[in-house]
Structure 1
């Protein structure tokens, strides 16, 4: 693949990729946990998206503006994105697990003109106490909410005639927030050109999507991975996407794979781990499943062996970030090397460098780095150029992870360069959890790290120093966990809390999270957990 093949035309709107499939071809098959089912064609989805583009335009939201959306795995998630992008409006994804303070930060920093939220999630928005000077409209999805406009009513009254707004390839398409080790979450700016490159890299070379496939990617709409796969890699390739709106149960996931004759699956290692533990796994017919991919964290060898021995399916690791597309993985033409991350998707753009920006020799651990001119790399952190520059060495953007490579250019993971925790595929910044804990009256100081876990990869663990007058107890642990759940997204809460009298610190007074991580790794190994 040549570089020129990944460069979008100067005038380019990513919805043009989807318009090529405007027909009665099935775009999405949707099911929820009560068994309700829906099917939507490409034509119907595109038409509803055009109506929503008219809705936004008639409200005065125009090219270059931004909207925020918080919706579950429903068909209208696709409609919102298609409508906004067609109108030249960028989308800020939001998880349903965000709390009022999280939502306010994204609205204010992203200067969102509207928030479009599933009706059951509107309460968190209405609880926001901060001023929201940019926000003009609140639109409720799939239900009525007092004080909100109704998306269904607005769309029913809108025209399906809409001419796609002319956008430059470098215009913002998505503003996705990601956690870091310090400060507030960072707004990752992706342009329409990013989508062009992504569709020509990850979908064919890793996911191996082919005409006529049914593809199930389980990520939710609040995450960049949803844009990667359930949205772009389904609709941009003209295949049928399976969408399941319900709580995860491994038996249900296996049943859906069988019933819908899924050809390509992409889910988290945690999902694979739990499916691998199902009794009678071999009773499920997964004979249609041609390609099974995993992203978010490393896969366990035992899980890989279980799927291979039971279904003759080789699970394929993939590594990427909110800031990029897939960077490293087991491609369709790559031999699986157990324990390896795989190979770079494009050798000339992805390498391992030292702290001075020089490529390191074979076998030497260094920083996984991406050339800054890689077409599927983000543009910057919105309104935070200093944080972008802090992640740059010379011509390279640092992913924050460390690895070595062998003589055949397979990469081998060696851990985080920073303190970010990846748990069940979620990326969690320790500072966010620490900030929440420190708001509790009982907490004097704290440090948060990832603790190895057999199912989740890692869990969030907090080491807490209590203020005078407070004593550690199981009841206080529960109280602190509940407090954090109410302060920030619930998936970030510490699943384990250890009360201590001191924390390891540097001479300058910074907490040495690395020492606490090392402690948890030692403990895990002593308990027989492979780390």
Structure 2
């Protein structure tokens, strides 16, 4: 299967074209925790995003400008993303849980000129108005305050017609930051043509999105996965995006799936695992659900078996990265092998390779690698040629995950080949946790690793050496957890902390996290 990329492409222009021919079709269906709903048609979304685009252009944001977007799930996210694409700006997604240090790093590293954020994160961004040399535009979804331009004021009086910027397919459009094992997060560069490549396989052959579907993808706008499924895969196929703004609980999710005609669901394995353990699971009738998919971390067999037994539905696993699109999965019509990642995408050449970049035979464990000619592969890490070069091994982009391929071409996940922690669908770099911990006055040294967990797959565990004069205690454990939550995004905090006298190290003094990870696995097997 080949994909011919046009010279020019703008995803927002594609959505506008669909809106003009289907003006009354539902585009976004929003539900909040109280049960209140808001629905926008494709034409209403087109006009809303056009007003934002005109507003952005009026203050000087245009083609090539980098803008940090820190917003929650909701209709506004769709309008803002489309508007930024329409003016040709570069979208920098950020989680609503980021802290000042996280945001400042991204702004400085990318030389961002603007930030659009919801009211709840303003205090984390406010200090940057004085410290940042590049930030000029501060837009809030909240009320007016000094130095900030409310979105309502920005779009007030603006025309609801706008001509999309003519963007080359190879022009930078998305800059998503992903955690690394050392140093700060890496800025993953994706171009304007990336959504077209994603639509060609992930939306149609994995998620199985059809024009009349109501699609509920639970990822938040701060993540590359939001661009994948709620945004590109849904609007790009002319379907309706369902957005739930409330907090997760198994009962809430199952009740929504019973009440609303959601036909495509894309959630994390953690969400599926907790739903599968819900009390009285058999009482729910998910009559509209046709295509349940899972991504973000390995999906365990028990979830697949439970959803088949109770609902007659097969949850199909999918694997990809911020750097790519869908790489491996259980595609439509494919017989799943529960516990496996599925088979390689029809448009991707996937192999298991050794340390020399040579393909390994069936059954051998090695690095999961993608041929570097893949059209949807990232364009490198921003301002980081060294880490970009390290991502490749000859003709292969090496994912950092290890696996083995069986005789039928299915790939089985064996774990990370580096120290990255994947917990509840979040990708966490140990350096970020350790950097926050050592800023506490009681911590002399520490190491963060993945520790197996039934619900989240893994959680962050920190091994901590205390400074002289400080003693281990339950109170200190809680204090350290809160300390990390305040310095970096709360999802990164260590849910487990063990105080130790020493850490395993190499002869050159580097911490051997691999020994600590192995220790955690052995402890699990003994329990």
TM-score normalised by the shorter chain: which range applies? over 0.9
Asked if residue 181 in structure 1 is aligned to residue 181 in structure 2, the reply is yes
Q: CA deviation at 1:130?
A: 7.2
TM-score by length of 2: 0.98
Q: CA deviation at 1:156?
A: 2.1
Across the two proteins, how many residue pairs are aligned to each other? 524
Partner in structure 2 of residue 7 of structure 1 = 4
Kept in 2, the 8 Å contact 1:330–1:341? The answer is yes
Q: CA deviation at 1:262?
A: 0.8
Kept in 1, the 8 Å contact 2:341–2:412? The answer is yes
Partner in structure 1 of residue 291 of structure 2 = 291
Q: 1:213 and 1:128 mapped to 2: Cα distance?
A: 42
TM-score by length of 1: 0.97
Partner in structure 1 of residue 141 of structure 2 = 141
Deviation digits for residues 330-381 of structure 1, max 9, x if unmatched?
0003111122110001365221111111111111111111111111111110
Partner in structure 2 of residue 51 of structure 1 = 51
Q: 2:217 and 2:497 mapped to 1: Cα distance?
A: 33
Deviation digits for residues 66-115 of structure 1, max 9, x if unmatched?
11110000111011110010111010001010000100111111111110
Partner in structure 2 of residue 266 of structure 1 = 266
Kept in 2, the 8 Å contact 1:343–1:410? The answer is yes
Partner in structure 2 of residue 447 of structure 1 = 447
Alpha carbon RMSD of aligned pairs, Å?
A: 1.2
Kept in 2, the 8 Å contact 1:212–1:240? The answer is yes
Kept in 2, the 8 Å contact 1:193–1:375? The answer is no
Partner in structure 2 of residue 31 of structure 1 = 31
Counterpart mapping for 1:345-364 below 5 A: 345-346=345-346, 349-364=349-364
Deviation digits for residues 242-288 of structure 1, max 9, x if unmatched?
10111111111011111111111000011011111111112111121
Deviation digits for residues 121-179 of structure 1, max 9, x if unmatched?
11110144872111001001143344310101211221122111111101111100000
Counterpart mapping for 1:130-529 below 5 A: 131-346=131-346, 349-527=349-527
Change (3 A) 1:183 1:140: same
Partner in structure 2 of residue 101 of structure 1 = 101
Kept in 2, the 8 Å contact 1:26–1:41? The answer is yes
Q: 1:158 and 1:16 mapped to 2: Cα distance?
A: 19
Change (3 A) 1:338 1:239: same
Kept in 1, the 8 Å contact 2:26–2:39? The answer is yes
Kept in 2, the 8 Å contact 1:53–1:87? The answer is yes
Structure 1: segments with no counterpart, 5+ residues: none
Q: CA deviation at 1:7?
A: 3.1
Deviation digits for residues 423-477 of structure 1, max 9, x if unmatched?
0000000010001111111011101001000001101000000000000000111
Structure 2: segments with no counterpart, 5+ residues: none
SS at 2:116's partner residue? strand
Kept in 2, the 8 Å contact 1:424–1:456? The answer is yes
